[in-house]
Amino acid sequence: MDKHMSLDEVIAGLQAKYPEQLEVVEDSLQPAVRVKSDILLKVMQELKEEYGLDFLADLTAVDLGDEGFRAINHVMSWKPYRMLRVEVDVPKNRPRVPSLTDLWAAANVQEREAFDMFGIIYEGHPKLTRILLSDNFEGYPLRKDFKITSRRK
């Protein structure tokens, strides 16, 4: 497969392969797809190995409030410069996503950070512990329902 095809072709190819579990995010400033969490690993692996989007640019998450979380992954290739956002919706009561650490070592620290901040559990991560906050910190600060307890009494 051509590793330099344009993003539209990449998205089209992916959509053809996973018509059910993958949707293209409309009215987005940057190209984005939303996938179900069970095919995330497969999609990412294909993006990395077949479509040449082999650089994990960023990995984070967003709290959507009542709808749950959204795990955000940006993959890119340098030459030609392409960047694709892969989103995964995560239910609030069972925040689990497959870990990308087997594909990119870069995912290791970033998944730990997302776990630290949102409490999203990345399944298959070798050492999913708090990274920035102290080990005995309670709660996940970047969740919208996190209340900052006042330090002053």
Partner 1 sequence: MSLADDKFLRTEELTLNMGPQHPSTHGVYRAILTLDGEYIKGMENVIGYLHRGMEKLAEARTYPQFIPYPDRLDYAAGMLNELGYVQAVEKLMGIEVPERAEYIRIIMAELQRMASHMVMLGSYALDLGGYTPWMYFFRDREKILDLFEMASGARMTPCYMRIGGVAEDLPPEFLPQLRKFMDSMPASFEEYDNIVTGNEIFIARTKGVGVLPVEKLLSYGVTGPNLRAAGVDYDLRKVAPYGIYDRFEFDVPVYENGDCFDRFVIRIAEMKQSLRILEQAIKDLPEGPIKAKVPRVIKPPKGEVYHQIEGSKGVLGYYVVSDETNKPYRLHIHGPSFINLGALPDMCMDLTLQDVIATIASIDFILGEVDR
Residues lying near partner 1 in the complex (CB under 8 A) are found at 27-30, 54-58, 60, 62-63, 72, 74, 78-79, 81, 83, 85, 104-106, 108-110, 113, 117, 130-134, 141-142, 146
Maximum CA pair distance of the chain? Answer: 63
Q: Which is nearer to partner 1, 17 or 30 (CB)?
A: 30
CB of residue 18 vs partner 1: minimum separation in angstroms? 22
Token couple for 40: 């995330």
Q: Which is nearer to partner 1, 147 or 153 (CB)?
A: 147
Tell how strand 32-35 and strand 22-24 pair up.
antiparallel
CB of residue 62 vs partner 1: minimum separation in angstroms? 5
CB of residue 15 vs partner 1: minimum separation in angstroms? 21
Coil, strand, or helix at residue 109? helix
Coil, strand, or helix at residue 75? strand
CA–CA separation, 140 and 130 (whole Å): 10
